[in-house]
Structure 1
Amino acid sequence: MFDLHRLRLLRELKHRGTLAAVAAALCYAPSSVSQQLSQLEGEVGVRLLEPVGRRVRLTEQAEILVAHTEAVLERLERAEADIATSLTDLTGTLRIASFQTAALALVPTALDLLRDRHPRLRVHVAHMEPEKALLALQAHDFDLVLTEEYPGNPNPRPAELEEEELLDDPLHLALPKPSDDAHSGSPMAALRSLANHPWAMEPEGTPARQWAMTLCRNAGFEPDVRFETTDLLLHVRLVEQKHAAAFLPDLVWCGQRPTVTLRQLPRDQHTRCIFTVVRRGRSQHPAILACRDALRRAVTLRSSQA
């Protein structure tokens, strides 16, 4: 029988990449993690790690073992959910990671609803971009992640994660200055009218940046990106003060009236999808069910107030 704690350490190494990262996440000394994994190799009877420069990587046999560990942990999460369901009070801690606009527009209302219905549930919220948050979810750092998907840029869907659609969030072209071409004609003509204007976009490597660059290139120009940040409130301020054009989602206004002029985008590019994501086996946990319900109700309340 293999030691479950050591199996968890091997799984952590797969998701976190280095012994130092595993040690830091679990508050162990790196030497202790290394010793535990050496003992696991003795239990299994095969080599699990091989050196690559100053780092190590999992062997084929270790990957097989991690896959079985994932299945065991999924079953244990289902057991935890069943036990929580059998209780009358919802307690414990729920850890949520959310990107900025969803955190601003939806999470506070959802927290209000959760506090009213489940006052003993402790909710911890972290602001984190989806790319990092999903990796942290797989590493068990969070219980639920709010993520986004842009048109033509489907997210990877790891088998160990389950997602549920929350809402469609319209996207708009934000105009930095009056322009006859931008205010009249087709959405693509409005976009082309800003070909020579500075732009604010999210950083390179993000799905939002990839989508925005593709949209501009399809309109026939390479955007002059002078401002790079995931902070969409800064995008708004830059457009307000006529420093940049930008693409802004409806959620950024938090139900308030837009402070800049907006134009529609081409029909197949004008909406991003917002999802909630959990680990497989945890979707029926009462805290997850309560959180997803609160987020759906937050979306409904926001729509009714728009």
Structure 2
Amino acid sequence: MFDLHRLRLLRELKHRGTLAAVASALSYAPSSVSQQLSQLEAEVGVPLLEPAGRRVRLTAQAEILVAHTEAVLERLERAEAEIATSLSDLTGTLRIASFQTAALALVPTALGLLRDLHPQLRVHVTHMEPERSLPALLARDFDLVLAEEYPGNPNPRSSELEQEDLLDDPLHLALPEPADSPDTDSPTAALRSLHGHPWVVEPEGTAARHWAMALCRNAGFEPDVRFETTDLLLHLRLVEQKHAAAFLPDLVWYGHSPTVALRQLPRGQRARRISTVVRRGRSRHPAVLACRDALLRAVALHSGRAQGGTALELISRGAARSRRPR
């Protein structure tokens, strides 16, 4: 029988890419990781790694082993969930990764709900963009990730992950004052009127940047990008100070009134989808269920502040509408 610990090291290598990254993540010496994988090769009886420049890559036989290891680990996560469900008190640690606006607008409220309902549950939150947090979720650095998808830019869907919708967050064109485009202009015309104005967008390689550039190009111009940051509060401040135009989501205001002039975007581009993502086999863990429920309630409370509705009404409506597994 193959050693599960060594199989996990092989799996980590697939997800992290280098022996050094595996060693760093698991607090091992690189030589120890290499030795363990050499012993696994001896157990299996075939080469598992082959040179790829200065790095190594998995052989076809190693990929087979990793696929079976994933299935074993999924089953173990289900066992962990069943054991946790059988206990009267929810304990342990739940590791969450969230992008900025959700971390500011929703996570603190959810943490308060979790603290009141499950005081023995320790929650660890890391601010991380989905481009990094989703691979880290696969590598078991986190238990739950808050992710965002922009219109026409879905995240890569791994069969090893399970995604559940949380809310659709409206997106707007944020105008520096004075606006050159009258309110009666179409969304595309309002967007096109800012073709010569400086813009603030997220960095290259992010889904938000790809979406923003495509939106401007579809309107017939190349945006003059002067500022690049994942910090949407800085986006907002630059618009407020008339330094740049931007695309801003509703969560930036945490349910308060907008502080800049906003225009509607073209149809099909008016909301990003926010979801919670977990590894397959972990969705029934009581800590994950409690966290997802707390986040749904936080969404309802946020919506109640923004729309003037009652929290209880919005909680019940939001739970029915938003819990759509994908």
Structure 1 unaligned residues grouped into runs of 5+? none
Distance 1:201 1:180, change over 3 A: closer
Q: Distance in 1 between matches of 2:49 and 2:198?
A: 49
Deviations 1:180-221 (A, max 9, x none): 525331111110110000000000111101110111001100
Q: Distance in 2 between matches of 1:12 and 1:243?
A: 44
Indicate conservation of the 8 Å contact 2:256/2:305, yes or no: no
Q: Does 1:269 pair with 2:269?
A: yes
TM-score of the pair, normalised by structure 1 = 0.99
Secondary structure (helix, strand or coil) at the match of 1:181 reads coil
Distance 1:23 1:182, change over 3 A: farther
Q: Does 1:3 pair with 2:3?
A: yes
Match in the other structure for 1:68: 68
Q: How does 1:154-303 map to 2 (within 5 A)?
A: 154-303=154-303
Q: Distance in 2 between matches of 1:209 and 1:180?
A: 24
C-alpha deviation, 1:171, in angstroms: 0.1
Q: Does 1:81 pair with 2:81?
A: yes
Deviations 1:244-287 (A, max 9, x none): 00000000111111111111101210110001000000000000
Deviates more, 1:142-151 or 1:49-58: 49-58
Structure 2 unaligned residues grouped into runs of 5+? 307-326
Match in the other structure for 1:39: 39
Structure 1 stretches (4+) deviating beyond 3 angstroms?
A: none
Secondary structure (helix, strand or coil) at the match of 1:278 reads strand
Indicate conservation of the 8 Å contact 1:182/1:191, yes or no: no
Indicate conservation of the 8 Å contact 1:197/1:245, yes or no: yes
Deviations 1:141-165 (A, max 9, x none): 0000000000011111100000000
Q: Distance in 1 between matches of 2:98 and 2:300?
A: 19
Match in the other structure for 2:49: 49
Q: Distance in 2 between matches of 1:232 and 1:171?
A: 12
Aligned amino acid, residue 296 of structure 2: R
Identity %: 82
Q: Distance in 2 between matches of 1:120 and 1:18?
A: 37
Aligned amino acid, residue 192 of structure 1: R
Q: Distance in 1 between matches of 2:31 and 2:184?
A: 66
C-alpha deviation, 1:52, in angstroms: 1.5
Q: Distance in 2 between matches of 1:145 and 1:182?
A: 40
Q: Distance in 1 between matches of 2:182 and 2:176?
A: 10
Aligned amino acid, residue 32 of structure 1: S
Indicate conservation of the 8 Å contact 2:173/2:264, yes or no: yes
Match in the other structure for 1:113: 113
* Cα RMSD, aligned residues only: 0.7
Indicate conservation of the 8 Å contact 1:175/1:182, yes or no: no
Q: Distance in 2 between matches of 1:273 and 1:28?
A: 38
Aligned amino acid, residue 211 of structure 1: W
Aligned amino acid, residue 16 of structure 2: R
Match in the other structure for 1:26: 26
Q: How does 1:92-103 map to 2 (within 5 A)?
A: 92-103=92-103
Report how many aligned residue pairs link the two structures: 306
Secondary structure (helix, strand or coil) at the match of 2:226 reads strand
Secondary structure (helix, strand or coil) at the match of 2:273 reads strand
Indicate conservation of the 8 Å contact 1:182/1:189, yes or no: no
Q: Distance in 2 between matches of 1:243 and 1:183?
A: 21
Q: Distance in 2 between matches of 1:261 and 1:114?
A: 36
